[in-house]
Amino acid sequence: MASVPSRLERLADVLVGYSTRVRKGDLVCLDTGPAAAPLVHELWERVLAAGGHPHLRLDVEGAPELLLREGTNAQLGWISPLRKAEVERADVRIAIEADVNTRANTGIDPERQARAERAREPLRRVHFARASAGELRAVVTLYPTEAAAQDADMSLTEYEDFVYHAGLLDRDDPAAEWEARGRRYEQLAARLGQRKTIRVFGDGTDLTLGVGGRRWIPCDGRENFPDGEVFTGPVETEVDGVVRFTYPASYAGRRVSGVELEFRGGEVVRASAAEGETFLREMLALDDGARRAGEFSFGLNDAVTEFTGHTLFDEKIGGTVHLALGASYPESGGKVESALHWDLVCDLRSRSEVYADGEVVYRDGSFVDGLL
Amino acid sequence: MTDPRVERLAGLLADYSLELREGQVLRIDSLDAGSPLVLALYGAALRAGALPYTNVGLSGLGETLLQHGTEEQLTYLSPIQWEEIEQLDALVTIWSETNTRALSRVDPTRHAAYIAAQRKLSNRRWERISNGEMSWCGTLFPTNAHAQEAEMSLAEYEAFVYAACHVHEEDPAAHWRAVSGGLQARAAELGSARELRIVGPDTDLRVGVEGRTWLAADGRYNMPDGEVFTSPNETETEGEIRYTFPAVYHGREVVDVRLRFEGGRVVHAEAARGDDYLQSLLDMDAGARILGEVAFGLNYEIDRFTRNILFDEKIGGTMHLALGSGFPQAGGKNTSGLHWDMICDLRDEGEVYADGELVWKAGRFLAEPARAVVESGVHG
């Protein structure tokens, strides 16, 4: 008798069989921390069964912190041959977040953190270039840990339920569900692709973004898992107005909340935050691209309904939009280059509207034509 | 709280074994269970100005590959591994098993295929090590699995391991520098011997060592360390030897091995247990019946057999004579797929004669090596 697969087994099935479609001969990098060991074992077996060559890169708890705390500039700016070879050589990369303490880097000097971020920029560029060229299939996911549960104000059991529900892994055939959603996201993306401007009205928000000629990308669980968004890269000089982000946002282990930004001609001209304003300003000053919106996106996953303090999930909440400061994804036509990519989420589920070329297309968290 | 012995071991590896310098690239290999030492060494390397990174595996993944991998997967070497090797200035291997017998039931031919493929990488690594392009040190982080193998509690085993590395006291590097001086002097002195005769229970063996170089193992390639060794002449081993400790090869034990040598080759071999395995290894290839190494174990902090060659071959008062491949740097010429260290306890009744003169009795050299002679020897 065949046993019913566990949610963890289904997650591994989907990541290997659907998200990254591992094939014979693929070099598959698994990038994670020791807390994700149970998922690593499941993935390892499936990659082997698919004929791939699994390769593990496991973080050592405390080592990144030690580097950020004690490293010289030369050490902070250095990229290991392992990292470099992985990014250049892998056919598939499955990155699994599995923090055991999401605040371990809170006490690190932001200047040093920024230096380390900048050093990784070339790696990121190679990663995105290879992904765009179809040479690398890469997915980011999360393995539920106590630390992530704590950020979400949940018990680990509750958080596991949340995570697996968000991935549709409590359904019989999650891959088929994601494929069906993907088709709907594609239709939406095609419609949005015909528009020139998007204007978002909400609580403390009136923001206009030029999107003419840009591509909208449907996200169906192949690069993020779970997934559920349609995004683009706004025209770099055509973002104007104010936006107030509903949820706190974490970046590199630091948290800011109550963020308000004012854009003029595509650039942030005013920024404030109720909490973490210094860090926000430091990140905005990271490089030229950090003051620009590299991404604008609709969150479409109705299985994610609550804020849990983690971007992977928060930006997918059905009925939200998010805007990322910093780098755009080249496949969207966006041209912002930056070491930063910081997603900030705005809840539009009540008293809000989105206009496309002057026409209401979205109200209180849903598209008005019922497409999604 | 961090065990200060772990911190000291890390410092010893970075500063003494590898002599890490600013800008050197160090890779730290370990399993997840070795993480406390990985982290401590990572920190020590940062403080030395080096560029460390970690390569940590999870227990059980290798087993899955060996059980389920196709032949292509078993023998696959990734471009990542090849590219990394060329860029390393230093490498540390931290043995830290969570189950030393996890591979016991793996198909031996599949295991052999995997090892043969990995050897291509390790050959390139050894090439760079012997060319002086990179340094390497192997050490161990105490786990329950290793403790269990040694029939100790974890706390007892930790005390044993850290004493063997001399990190239970302050300034272990000073200790190892002193040990190194003594071992170098001993090696130089043995270098003038033509023949060693080893006498013990059921043992009377003559080993020709003329013209061979004795080397001091002083904590650079292994931690702990403490031996002097050479590769004997390939055709001059004569007589009999009985190995008192079990001989372990790839996790399998052969108990009470007795060998008779004529003209350098094993002509008779028997064991109380594991005799089939012994015979099959002796028949592995032409070099498997010839001694590749003769060595004195001189680490007297290691006072018992723990079923781990890293420690066992250095037990103070033992000798080990390995069947199989010799060391070119010692003048050894024997080649073989085998290098099997077998350990002979000489602590009770053993005697060793160098060119007829008694130099070792009951596990100790009778005289300290004359260091002044060594130095004048270098110049004269």
pLDDT of A116 over the 50 cut: yes
pLDDT band at A371 (very low <50, low <70, confident <90, very high): low
Q: Are A87 and A232 within one domain? A: no
**Gyration radius from chain B CA atoms:** 21
Chain A residues near residue B84 by CB distance under 8 angstroms: 81-82, 85
pLDDT of B364 over the 60 cut: yes
Q: What is the distance in angstroms between the Cα of B339 and the nearest Cα belonging to chain A?
A: 30
Residue A286 lies inside a defined structural domain of this protein:
yes
Chain B residues near residue A83 by CB distance under 8 angstroms: 53
B355 touches A: beta carbon within 8 Å: no
- Domains in chain B, start-ordered, CATH in brackets? 4-170 (3.40.1830.10), 177-379 (no CATH)
The chain A residue lying nearest B26, using CA atoms, is: A80
Nearest to A58 among B25, B56, B60 (CB): B56
Q: Enumerate the β-bridge partners of residue B139.
A: B94, B223
| CA B248 – CA B253 distance, rounded (Å) | 4
Q: Are B224 and B311 in contact (CB under 8 A)?
A: yes
CB contact under 8 A, B54 and A54: no
Q: In terms of C-beta density within 10 A (0-12 exposed, 13-18 middle, 19 or more buried), how is residue B109 classed?
A: exposed
pLDDT of A370 over the 80 cut: no
User: What is the reported pLDDT for B251?
Assistant: 75
Q: Are A51 and A78 in contact (CB under 8 A)?
A: no
Chain B residues near residue A25 by CB distance under 8 angstroms: 72
Between positions 62 and 101 of A, the ones with CB within 8 A of B are: 62-63, 66-67, 70-72, 74-75, 78, 80-86, 89-90
Print the domain residue range for A85: 7-143
The chain A residue lying nearest B62, using CA atoms, is: A44
pLDDT band at B258 (very low <50, low <70, confident <90, very high): very high
B73 touches A: beta carbon within 8 Å: yes
Q: In terms of C-beta density within 10 A (0-12 exposed, 13-18 middle, 19 or more buried), how is residue B243 classed?
A: buried
Q: What is the pLDDT of residues A175-232, one digit of tens each?
A: 999 999 999 999 999 999 999 999 999 999 999 999 999 999 999 999 999 999 999 9
CB contact under 8 A, A63 and B39: yes
Quickly count: other Cβ atoms within 10 Å of residue B21's Cβ: 11
Residue type for A229, please? Answer: E
Q: Are A137 and A188 within one domain? A: no
Q: Answer with the one of A143, A162, A187 that is the final residue of a domain.
A: A143
When pLDDT is averaged across residues B46-52 and rounded to a whole number, the result is: 97
| CA A368 – CA A370 distance, rounded (Å) | 5
Q: Would you give the DSSP letter of residue A6?
A: P
Instruction: State chain A's mean pLDDT as an integer.
Output: 94
Q: Which residues contact B307 (CB under 8 A, 6 or more apart)?
A: B149, B150, B246, B248, B253
Residue indicated by tokens 């996200």: A219
Token digits of residue B181:
């001086």
Residue A14 lies inside a defined structural domain of this protein:
yes
Nearest to A70 among B47, B51, B88 (CB): B47
Nearest to A78 among B27, B43, B51 (CB): B51
CB contact under 8 A, A60 and B38: yes
pLDDT of A372 over the 90 cut: no
Q: Are A224 and A362 within one domain? A: yes
| CA A149 – CA B368 distance, rounded (Å) | 64
The chain B residue lying nearest A87, using CA atoms, is: B80
| CA B191 – CA B369 distance, rounded (Å) | 12
Nearest to B61 among A44, A82, A83 (CB): A44
Residue A161 lies inside a defined structural domain of this protein:
no
Q: What is the pLDDT of residues B85-99, one digit of tens each?
A: 999 999 999 999 999
pLDDT of A243 over the 80 cut: yes
Q: How far is CA A51 from CA A30, A86, A188, B90, B110, in A?
A: 15, 19, 36, 33, 17
Q: Are A109 and A189 within one domain? A: no
How many domains, chain A? 2
B159 touches A: beta carbon within 8 Å: no
Q: Answer with the one of A122, A143, A164 that is the final residue of a domain.
A: A143
| CA B337 – CA B235 distance, rounded (Å) | 19
Half-sphere exposure for B332 (CA within 13 Å, toward CB): 26
Q: Are B154 and B147 in contact (CB under 8 A)?
A: yes
Residue indicated by tokens 């705390």: A69
> b/e string for A312-345 if b means 16 or more Cβ within 10 A?
bbbbbbbbbbbbbbbbbbbebbbebbbbbbbbbb
CB contact under 8 A, A70 and B46: yes
Instruction: State chain B's mean pLDDT as an integer.
Output: 93
Chain A residues near residue B70 by CB distance under 8 angstroms: 51
Strand, coil or helix: B207: strand
Q: Are A183 and A131 within one domain? A: no
Q: Which residues contact B249 (CB under 8 A, 6 or more apart)?
A: B277, B281, B340
Q: Are A43 and A106 within one domain? A: yes
pLDDT of B380 over the 70 cut: no
pLDDT of B373 over the 80 cut: no
B88 touches A: beta carbon within 8 Å: yes
Give the best residue of A32, A75, A91 to mutate against chain B (max B CB count within 10 A).
Answer: A75
Q: What is the distance in angstroms between the Cα of A367 and the nearest Cα belonging to chain B?
A: 46
Q: Are strands B25-31 and B51-57 parallel, antiparallel or unpaired?
A: parallel
The chain B residue lying nearest A78, using CA atoms, is: B51
Chain B residues near residue A71 by CB distance under 8 angstroms: 46
CA-wise closest residue to B103 among B60, B69, B55: B60
Q: What is the pLDDT of residues B217-245, one digit of tens each?
A: 999 999 999 999 999 999 999 999 999 89
Percent of chain A surpassing pLDDT 90: 87
Q: Enumerate the β-bridge partners of residue A172.
A: none
User: What is the reported pLDDT for A114?
Assistant: 84
- Cα angle vertex A99, ends A95, A101, to 5°? 160
Q: Are A60 and A195 within one domain? A: no
- One DSSP character per residue, B314-329 reads TBTTEEEEEEE---GG
Q: What is the pLDDT of residues A51-88, one digit of tens each?
A: 999 999 999 999 999 999 999 999 999 999 899 999 99
B117 touches A: beta carbon within 8 Å: no
A45 touches B: beta carbon within 8 Å: yes
Residue A226 lies inside a defined structural domain of this protein:
yes
Higher pLDDT among residues B200 and A339, named by residue:
B200
Q: Answer with the one of A95, A121, A143 that is the final residue of a domain.
A: A143
pLDDT band at B379 (very low <50, low <70, confident <90, very high): very low
pLDDT of A308 over the 90 cut: yes
Residue A322 lies inside a defined structural domain of this protein:
yes
| CA A304 – CA A318 distance, rounded (Å) | 6
Q: Would you give the DSSP letter of residue B34?
A: G
User: What is the reported pLDDT for B372?
Assistant: 45
Token digits of residue A124:
């990121």
Q: In terms of C-beta density within 10 A (0-12 exposed, 13-18 middle, 19 or more buried), how is residue B377 classed?
A: middle
Q: Are A192 and A126 within one domain? A: no
Residue A283: its H or E element: helix A277-284
CB contact under 8 A, B61 and A66: no
User: What is the reported pLDDT for B374?
Assistant: 42
Q: What is the distance in angstroms between the Cα of A254 and the nearest Cα belonging to chain B?
A: 23
Q: Which residues contact B159 (CB under 8 A, 6 or more apart)?
A: B168
User: What is the reported pLDDT for B376?
Assistant: 35
CA-wise closest residue to A120 among A13, A244, A15, A31: A31
Q: Are A186 and A58 within one domain? A: no
Task: Give the CATH number for residue A94.
Answer: 3.40.1830.10
| CA B103 – CA B100 distance, rounded (Å) | 8
Give the best residue of B39, B78, B94 to mutate against chain A (max A CB count within 10 A).
Answer: B78
Q: Are A121 and A182 within one domain? A: no
Q: Are A114 and A261 within one domain? A: no
Cis peptide upstream of residue B224 (ω within 30 degrees of 0): yes
User: What is the reported pLDDT for B14?
Assistant: 98
CB contact under 8 A, A41 and B64: yes
Q: Would you give the DSSP letter of residue B105?
A: T
How far from chain centre, in Å, is Cα B271?
A: 23
pLDDT band at B104 (very low <50, low <70, confident <90, very high): confident
pLDDT of B378 over the 70 cut: no
User: What is the reported pLDDT for B107?
Assistant: 87
Residue A169 lies inside a defined structural domain of this protein:
no
pLDDT of B371 over the 80 cut: no
CB contact under 8 A, B73 and A53: yes
Residue A331 lies inside a defined structural domain of this protein:
yes
Residue A84 lies inside a defined structural domain of this protein:
yes
